[in-house]
Amino acid sequence: NAGVTQTPKFQVLKTGQSMTLQCAQDMNHNSMYWYRQDPGMGLRLIYYSASEGTTDKGEVPNGYNVSRLNKREFSLRLESAAPSQTSVYFCASSEVWGKETQYFGPGTRLLVL
């Protein structure tokens, strides 16, 4: 039981390049989330998927897109990376949407030059 897995662990991009961050969970959870973590800012929600087939914007969605591929997988895409997107990205899941505990992946460290 791996929990929440993320790939890659670390990535360097040049400004304007695109990439997709992958996330998968094996806990049969309905809800999944993408956060970014920046020094002094805590965690900020980028997008979430309350259930398979739905996605919604979080606090900081600009410059990102998401796909809930199936119940297990939730990807985050940067179409044209900018230095302001340098951050650590965390995927999380919870059994249902609402007042539930979230389970986090190990994170992807992204550097945009």
Partner 1 sequence: GNSVTQMEGPVTLSEEAFLTINCTYTATGYPSLFWYVQYPGEGLQLLLKATKADDKGSNKGFEATYRKETTSFHLEKGSVQVSDSAVYFCALSWGGGADGLTFGKGTHLIIQP
Residues that bind partner 1 (CB under 8 A): 4, 33, 40-45, 48, 56-59, 90, 92, 97-107
Name which of 14 and 39 has its Cβ closer to partner 1. Answer: 39
Name which of 54 and 80 has its Cβ closer to partner 1. Answer: 54
Report how far residue 43's alpha carbon sits from residue 4's, in angstroms, rounded to the nearest whole number: 17
Which neighbouring-strand residues pair with 64? 78
Phi/psi for 73 (5° steps) reads: -120, 140
CB of residue 39 to partner 1, shortest distance in Å? 9
Name which of 57 and 77 has its Cβ closer to partner 1. Answer: 57
CB of residue 38 to partner 1, shortest distance in Å? 10
Name which of 9 and 14 has its Cβ closer to partner 1. Answer: 9
CB of residue 68 to partner 1, shortest distance in Å? 16
Radius of gyration of the chain, Cα coordinates, nearest whole angstrom? 13
Report how far residue 6's alpha carbon sits from residue 64's, in angstroms, rounded to the nearest whole number: 17
Task: Report in angstroms the alpha-carbon separations of 62 from 77, 81, 98, 113.
Answer: 11, 11, 24, 19
CB of residue 27 to partner 1, shortest distance in Å? 13
